[in-house]
Structure 1
Amino acid sequence: MRNIYIESFATFFKIGMFTLGGGYAMIPLIEQEVVARRGWVTKEEMIDLIAISQSCPGVFAINLSTFIGYRLRKTRGALCTSIGTAMPSFLCILLIAMFFHQFDDNPVVAAIFRGIRPAVVALIAVPTFDLARSAKVGWANCWIPIAGALAIWAFGVSPILIIILAGLGGYVYGKYIKPTE
């Protein structure tokens, strides 16, 4: 008999250990493991969990893993998946902190990080486009993230304000506009 707590911890530990680029880069791996391979949540539930995780304060990957764990086995499941996701990063940062002073000015390490950056951008872009396609976001709605990014970059608008306005806009659209379409 399998132990769902150990299995969920190990699954999210593995995802956390082998993903570079943060929470958004984890989305394809989490989706592959949780939806396709293990069937813990459906594709539709995954999209909803991603949306909820994005709107909550805190680290996206931890939020997502917590919601999936809670969906599996309530509080204990959430603890297992959250710790599994956070543990690899914690251990890596601990090791780096212990030895970083030896690599501060190393040009090879700097070159490695410069080489990783484009791969991380791709790892974030691909799930973003996949989510937009799954959520049936058309080209007519592409102005929303572009306008948000420009408002933050060009005008110094707080990202928190953008998130709040997007949430309110989504609520108004879902409550009042979509039912009339």
Structure 2
Amino acid sequence: MLLLQIFFTFLKIGMFSFGGGYAMLPMIEKEIVNNHQWISYSDFIDIIGISQMTPGPIAINSATFVGFKVAGILGSVVATLGVVTFSFVIVSIATHYIIKFKDSVTLKSMLKGMKPALIGLIICAFLSLAKESFVNLKSILIGIVIAFISFKSKIHPIIVIVIAALMGLLLFSF
């Protein structure tokens, strides 16, 4: 029963979240932390961090980690299948029609309307994560330095993560 619940929860997340993994984070949080209470908010933040550092889309990685935390290896498989099923079906069907209607004014207008909403969802996810992550002056300092480095340079994200980890080691160990 738990595996079915996991599958259908992540299927719902996959069906009703548009705009990529970061736009899905508020819905993932609502479902797994608030509605089902499968994990704590602190664990959710840790899963997001791990999902960002591992290869692959953040929504799939998050589903995999949550599924594993809740129901082991089978839970991770079921959660991952749940989050990708709808997209797989829709993309398989829609490819033909997207090519056919790629010049449609209606389609272009809808996509233009969705972009600001997706940015809003990403900002919402950021603010939710920021409340838990920026807990003191040290964590705020790390966030500001990393944001500056990311915005002003072409440094690879993995190097930025390593810099943040080293800053955390220096600032929180002593």
TM-score (norm 1): 0.86
The equivalent residue for 2:124 is: 126
Query: Which runs of no fewer than 5 residues in structure 2 stay unpaired?
Result: none
The equivalent residue for 1:53 is: 51
The equivalent residue for 1:32 is: 30
The equivalent residue for 1:63 is: 61
Q: Does 1:178 align with 2:172?
A: yes
Q: Secondary structure, in 3 states, of the residue corresponding to 2:19?
A: coil
Which residue identity lines up with residue 31 of structure 2 in the other structure?
E
Aligned with residue 157 of structure 2, among 149, 156, 159: 159
The equivalent residue for 1:91 is: 89
Residues 130-161 of structure 1 show CA distances to partners (whole Å, capped at 9, x for unaligned) of 1111123455444234213323xxx4333333
Q: Does 1:146 align with 2:147?
A: yes
Residues 145 and 119 (structure 1), Cα distance of their counterparts in 2 relative to 1, 3 Å cut = farther
Residues 48-84 of structure 1 show CA distances to partners (whole Å, capped at 9, x for unaligned) of 1111111111110000010000001111000000010
Residues 137 and 35 (structure 1), Cα distance of their counterparts in 2 relative to 1, 3 Å cut = same
In the TM superposition, residue 162 of structure 1 has moved relative to its aligned partner by 2.4
Query: Which runs of no fewer than 5 residues in structure 1 stay unpaired?
Result: none
Residues 17-75 of structure 1 show CA distances to partners (whole Å, capped at 9, x for unaligned) of 00111111111111111111111101111111111111111110000010000001111
Taking the aligned partners of 1:158 and 1:30, their CA distance within structure 2 comes to 27
The equivalent residue for 1:111 is: 109
Residues 102-150 of structure 1 show CA distances to partners (whole Å, capped at 9, x for unaligned) of 1111111111111110100010011111111112345544423421332
Q: Secondary structure, in 3 states, of the residue corresponding to 2:102?
A: coil
Residues 79-102 of structure 1 show CA distances to partners (whole Å, capped at 9, x for unaligned) of 000010111111121122122221
Is contact 2:11-2:82 (8 Å) kept?
Answer: yes
RMSD: 1.7
Q: Secondary structure, in 3 states, of the residue corresponding to 1:75?
A: helix
Taking the aligned partners of 1:58 and 1:149, their CA distance within structure 2 comes to 20
